Amino acid sequence: MFNTPVYSTISLSLFNGKTWYPIPGHKDYRISRSGDILSLKFRRSRVLRPFSNQNGCKQVTLDNIRYGINALLRLVFPPCRPTPSDRPQQ
């Protein structure tokens, strides 16, 4: 996959003044860069309310599976790190 971000090949939609990106493996959900989750499962789209686990980490349930907000952000927006061939020689 040539280090191409997941969201670059998919059309983006605006809702509530934010840009929403699809979550791979969950066709009825979108995520914003701020970590808000949009559900498209019902007649009216709605932003999901995250809950905290015992460690205080924010989580949401997508298709009956719990996910951490940070894990979903890393899935959709992978960190841009240089590959070993891009690093300057010392």
Residue 45 located in a structural domain = yes
CATH of the domain at 17: 3.90.75.20
Over residues 29-85, the pLDDT tens digits come to 999 999 999 999 888 889 999 999 999 999 999 999 999 999 999 999 887 776 666
Q: Which residue has the higher pLDDT, 4 or 34?
A: 34
Q: Is residue 46 part of a domain?
A: yes
Which residue has tokens 């927006």?
A: 77
Is residue 26 within a helix (H) or strand (E), and if so which, with residue range?
Answer: strand 26-31
Cα–Cα distance measured from residue 70 to residue 58, given in angstroms and rounded to the nearest whole number:
8
Q: Looking at the domain assignment, is residue 86 inside a domain?
A: no
Instruction: Confirm whether 58 is domain-assigned.
Output: yes
67/13: higher pLDDT = 67
The whole domain housing 54 covers 6-78
Q: How many domains does the chain have?
A: 1
Write down the pTM of the prediction.
Answer: 0.71
Within-domain flag for 22: yes
Q: Is the pLDDT of residue 16 over 90?
A: no
8 Å CB contact between 12 and 21: yes
